[in-house]
Amino acid sequence: MAVISQNSWSQDRVFISGKITANTNDLEGVYVVNSQTEIMTTTDSSGSFSILAKPDDTLVFSSIQFKENRVTLTCENFTDLNFTVRLSLVMHQLQEVIVKRYDNINAVSLGIVPAGQKSYTEAERKLHTATALNASASATGMAGGSISADPLFNFFSGRTAMLKKEVEVEKKEFFMKLLEKMFTLEHFVDRLKIPAEYVKGFEYYAVENKQFTNILNSKNKTSTEFLLGELAVKYKEIIASEVK
Protein backbone atom coordinates (compact mmCIF):
# COMPACT_ATOMS: atom_id res chain seq x y z
CA MET A 1 0.00 0.00 0.00
CA ALA A 2 1.32 3.45 -0.88
CA VAL A 3 2.23 5.72 2.00
CA ILE A 4 1.21 9.37 1.70
CA SER A 5 2.33 12.18 3.97
CA GLN A 6 0.07 15.22 3.95
CA ASN A 7 0.49 18.78 5.13
CA SER A 8 -1.49 21.98 5.27
CA TRP A 9 -0.70 22.76 1.61
CA SER A 10 -3.01 19.95 0.46
CA GLN A 11 -6.27 21.77 1.23
CA ASP A 12 -6.87 23.03 -2.35
CA ARG A 13 -5.55 19.89 -4.06
CA VAL A 14 -7.28 16.73 -5.21
CA PHE A 15 -6.08 13.20 -5.82
CA ILE A 16 -4.69 12.45 -9.24
CA SER A 17 -4.21 8.81 -10.22
CA GLY A 18 -1.80 7.46 -12.77
CA LYS A 19 0.62 4.72 -13.65
CA ILE A 20 4.28 4.42 -14.55
CA THR A 21 5.57 2.31 -17.44
CA ALA A 22 9.07 1.03 -18.20
CA ASN A 23 10.97 -1.80 -19.85
CA THR A 24 10.66 -3.94 -16.73
CA ASN A 25 8.00 -5.65 -14.66
CA ASP A 26 9.49 -4.34 -11.41
CA LEU A 27 7.41 -1.20 -11.00
CA GLU A 28 6.79 -1.29 -7.26
CA GLY A 29 8.31 1.15 -4.78
CA VAL A 30 9.02 4.07 -7.13
CA TYR A 31 8.81 7.36 -5.23
CA VAL A 32 6.33 9.95 -6.46
CA VAL A 33 6.88 13.35 -4.82
CA ASN A 34 4.95 16.57 -5.28
CA SER A 35 7.86 19.04 -5.27
CA GLN A 36 5.60 21.94 -4.31
CA THR A 37 4.17 20.33 -1.15
CA GLU A 38 6.65 17.51 -0.48
CA ILE A 39 3.70 15.11 -0.34
CA MET A 40 5.06 11.68 -1.16
CA THR A 41 3.75 8.27 -2.18
CA THR A 42 5.10 5.10 -3.81
CA THR A 43 3.84 2.98 -6.69
CA ASP A 44 2.28 -0.45 -6.18
CA SER A 45 3.28 -3.67 -7.95
CA SER A 46 1.44 -2.63 -11.13
CA GLY A 47 3.08 0.81 -11.18
CA SER A 48 -0.09 2.65 -10.12
CA PHE A 49 -0.07 5.64 -7.79
CA SER A 50 -2.39 8.31 -6.38
CA ILE A 51 -1.29 11.63 -4.92
CA LEU A 52 -2.70 15.01 -3.92
CA ALA A 53 -1.90 17.70 -6.48
CA LYS A 54 -3.25 20.49 -8.67
CA PRO A 55 -2.39 21.86 -12.13
CA ASP A 56 1.13 23.35 -12.39
CA ASP A 57 2.43 21.14 -9.57
CA THR A 58 5.51 19.12 -10.51
CA LEU A 59 5.65 15.41 -9.74
CA VAL A 60 9.10 13.88 -9.32
CA PHE A 61 9.47 10.17 -10.07
CA SER A 62 12.60 8.57 -8.67
CA SER A 63 13.94 5.16 -7.74
CA ILE A 64 17.22 3.31 -7.57
CA GLN A 65 16.61 1.48 -10.86
CA PHE A 66 15.12 4.43 -12.82
CA LYS A 67 16.36 7.80 -14.00
CA GLU A 68 14.58 10.70 -12.34
CA ASN A 69 11.65 12.10 -14.31
CA ARG A 70 9.80 15.37 -13.59
CA VAL A 71 6.29 15.99 -14.88
CA THR A 72 4.48 19.34 -14.59
CA LEU A 73 0.77 18.60 -14.34
CA THR A 74 -1.84 20.12 -16.62
CA CYS A 75 -5.63 20.29 -16.24
CA GLU A 76 -5.95 17.50 -18.82
CA ASN A 77 -3.95 15.12 -16.64
CA PHE A 78 -6.66 15.21 -13.97
CA THR A 79 -9.35 14.05 -16.40
CA ASP A 80 -7.17 11.52 -18.21
CA LEU A 81 -8.16 8.03 -17.08
CA ASN A 82 -4.98 6.65 -18.64
CA PHE A 83 -2.47 9.14 -17.24
CA THR A 84 0.89 7.41 -17.59
CA VAL A 85 4.51 8.43 -17.04
CA ARG A 86 7.32 6.69 -18.88
CA LEU A 87 10.50 5.97 -16.90
CA SER A 88 13.90 4.94 -18.21
CA LEU A 89 16.02 2.28 -16.56
CA VAL A 90 19.41 3.25 -15.16
CA MET A 91 21.87 1.70 -17.61
CA HIS A 92 25.00 1.68 -15.44
CA GLN A 93 24.11 -1.40 -13.42
CA LEU A 94 27.25 -3.11 -12.12
CA GLN A 95 28.08 -6.31 -14.00
CA GLU A 96 30.86 -7.29 -11.62
CA VAL A 97 32.03 -5.96 -8.30
CA ILE A 98 35.61 -6.44 -7.14
CA VAL A 99 35.53 -6.27 -3.37
CA LYS A 100 38.32 -4.29 -1.77
CA ARG A 101 38.99 -4.32 1.93
CA TYR A 102 38.93 -0.96 3.67
CA ASP A 103 39.80 -2.00 7.22
CA ASN A 104 41.36 1.38 7.99
CA ILE A 105 38.46 3.61 6.99
CA ASN A 106 38.06 6.21 9.71
CA ALA A 107 37.84 9.95 10.20
CA VAL A 108 41.60 10.35 9.70
CA SER A 109 41.86 8.32 6.47
CA LEU A 110 38.89 10.21 5.02
CA GLY A 111 40.48 13.57 5.81
CA ILE A 112 37.84 14.61 8.32
CA VAL A 113 40.49 15.19 10.99
CA PRO A 114 44.28 15.56 10.62
CA ALA A 115 46.49 12.53 11.29
CA GLY A 116 47.76 12.35 14.87
CA GLN A 117 45.13 14.69 16.26
CA LYS A 118 43.87 13.68 19.69
CA SER A 119 40.26 12.55 19.91
CA TYR A 120 38.65 14.13 22.96
CA THR A 121 35.85 12.83 25.09
CA GLU A 122 33.33 15.41 26.27
CA ALA A 123 35.10 15.71 29.62
CA GLU A 124 38.50 16.02 27.94
CA ARG A 125 37.21 18.77 25.65
CA LYS A 126 35.92 20.74 28.62
CA LEU A 127 39.28 20.32 30.37
CA HIS A 128 41.16 21.28 27.23
CA THR A 129 39.02 24.39 26.81
CA ALA A 130 39.63 25.41 30.39
CA THR A 131 43.41 24.88 30.39
CA ALA A 132 44.50 25.53 26.79
CA LEU A 133 45.43 29.17 27.41
CA ASN A 134 48.71 29.17 29.30
CA ALA A 135 49.90 32.68 28.67
CA SER A 136 52.88 34.24 30.44
CA ALA A 137 52.00 36.82 33.02
CA SER A 138 53.80 38.87 35.61
CA ALA A 139 53.80 38.06 39.29
CA THR A 140 50.86 40.40 39.81
CA GLY A 141 48.65 38.35 37.47
CA MET A 142 47.52 38.38 33.85
CA ALA A 143 46.52 41.99 33.93
CA GLY A 144 50.08 42.98 34.68
CA GLY A 145 51.62 40.63 32.14
CA SER A 146 52.77 41.41 28.67
CA ILE A 147 51.46 39.40 25.70
CA SER A 148 52.16 40.43 22.12
CA ALA A 149 49.07 40.84 19.92
CA ASP A 150 50.11 38.61 16.98
CA PRO A 151 50.88 35.41 18.94
CA LEU A 152 47.66 35.82 20.90
CA PHE A 153 45.64 36.26 17.70
CA ASN A 154 47.29 33.23 16.10
CA PHE A 155 46.74 31.20 19.25
CA PHE A 156 43.04 31.90 19.41
CA SER A 157 42.40 31.59 15.68
CA GLY A 158 44.21 28.24 15.54
CA ARG A 159 42.39 26.90 18.57
CA THR A 160 39.07 28.06 17.19
CA ALA A 161 39.70 26.25 13.92
CA MET A 162 40.60 23.08 15.82
CA LEU A 163 37.47 23.23 17.96
CA LYS A 164 35.30 23.84 14.91
CA LYS A 165 36.78 20.78 13.25
CA GLU A 166 36.09 18.71 16.36
CA VAL A 167 32.49 19.87 16.30
CA GLU A 168 32.20 18.79 12.65
CA VAL A 169 33.59 15.36 13.51
CA GLU A 170 31.09 15.02 16.34
CA LYS A 171 28.25 15.95 13.99
CA LYS A 172 29.31 13.33 11.45
CA GLU A 173 29.58 10.69 14.16
CA PHE A 174 26.11 11.65 15.38
CA PHE A 175 24.63 11.40 11.88
CA MET A 176 26.38 8.06 11.30
CA LYS A 177 24.77 6.62 14.43
CA LEU A 178 21.39 8.08 13.49
CA LEU A 179 21.63 6.62 9.98
CA GLU A 180 22.60 3.16 11.29
CA LYS A 181 19.75 3.28 13.80
CA MET A 182 17.22 4.19 11.09
CA PHE A 183 18.34 1.61 8.49
CA THR A 184 19.73 -1.89 8.90
CA LEU A 185 22.72 -3.33 7.06
CA GLU A 186 20.28 -5.44 5.05
CA HIS A 187 18.57 -2.28 3.78
CA PHE A 188 21.84 -0.98 2.34
CA VAL A 189 22.76 -4.33 0.79
CA ASP A 190 19.38 -5.70 -0.35
CA ARG A 191 17.40 -2.53 -1.08
CA LEU A 192 20.09 -0.06 -2.16
CA LYS A 193 22.33 -2.76 -3.70
CA ILE A 194 25.46 -1.45 -1.99
CA PRO A 195 28.09 -4.23 -1.66
CA ALA A 196 28.50 -5.11 2.03
CA GLU A 197 32.18 -4.11 2.07
CA TYR A 198 31.25 -0.63 0.78
CA VAL A 199 28.40 0.11 3.20
CA LYS A 200 30.52 1.95 5.79
CA GLY A 201 32.15 4.06 3.08
CA PHE A 202 28.71 4.87 1.67
CA GLU A 203 27.54 6.00 5.11
CA TYR A 204 30.48 8.43 5.31
CA TYR A 205 29.67 9.58 1.78
CA ALA A 206 26.03 10.22 2.71
CA VAL A 207 26.69 12.23 5.88
CA GLU A 208 29.06 14.50 3.93
CA ASN A 209 25.96 15.72 2.03
CA LYS A 210 24.45 18.67 3.91
CA GLN A 211 21.03 18.32 2.27
CA PHE A 212 20.92 14.68 3.35
CA THR A 213 21.93 15.38 6.96
CA ASN A 214 19.27 18.08 7.22
CA ILE A 215 16.60 15.58 6.16
CA LEU A 216 18.13 12.82 8.30
CA ASN A 217 18.06 15.10 11.34
CA SER A 218 14.34 15.72 10.78
CA LYS A 219 13.84 11.95 11.36
CA ASN A 220 11.44 11.77 8.40
CA LYS A 221 12.25 8.21 7.35
CA THR A 222 10.38 8.38 4.04
CA SER A 223 12.17 11.53 2.86
CA THR A 224 15.49 10.22 4.18
CA GLU A 225 15.07 6.94 2.29
CA PHE A 226 14.17 8.82 -0.88
CA LEU A 227 17.36 10.92 -0.89
CA LEU A 228 19.45 7.97 0.32
CA GLY A 229 18.36 6.08 -2.80
CA GLU A 230 19.56 8.93 -5.02
CA LEU A 231 22.91 9.06 -3.23
CA ALA A 232 23.25 5.28 -3.60
CA VAL A 233 22.99 5.58 -7.38
CA LYS A 234 25.79 8.17 -7.44
CA TYR A 235 27.94 6.16 -5.03
CA LYS A 236 27.66 3.03 -7.17
CA GLU A 237 28.82 5.09 -10.14
CA ILE A 238 31.93 5.97 -8.08
CA ILE A 239 32.49 2.29 -7.27
CA ALA A 240 32.07 1.37 -10.92
CA SER A 241 34.69 3.93 -11.98
CA GLU A 242 37.15 2.60 -9.39
CA VAL A 243 36.89 -1.05 -10.44
CA LYS A 244 37.40 -0.39 -14.17
pLDDT in tens, 163-174: 667 777 778 888
Measured in whole angstroms, the distance separating CA 178 from the mean position of its chain's CA atoms is 11
pTM of the model: 0.41
Contacts of 208 (CB under 8 A, 6+ apart): 172
- What are the pLDDT digits (tens) for 46-76? 999 999 999 999 999 988 888 899 999 999 9
Would you state the pLDDT for residue 4? 43
pLDDT at position 225, please? 87
153-176 mean pLDDT: 69
Contacts 24+ apart (CB under 8 A), 203-212: 203/176, 203/179, 204/105, 204/110, 204/172, 204/176, 205/231, 205/235, 205/238, 206/179, 206/231, 206/235, 207/172, 207/175, 207/176, 207/179, 208/172
